[in-house]
Structure 1
Amino acid sequence: MIDALQTATAGMTRAIDRLGTAAQTLAAIGTPVGDAALPPAVQVDLSSTVADLIESRTSFALNAAVARTADRMSGQLLDIKA
Structure 2
Amino acid sequence: MAEHSHPPMDYDAHQRTYAGFIQLTVLTVAFCIAVVIMLAIGNAGAWGLAGLGVFLAVIGTAVGVMMKGSPWPIAIGTLVVLALFVLFG
**Structure showing the higher strand proportion among its residues:** 1
TM-score when scaled to structure 2? 0.43
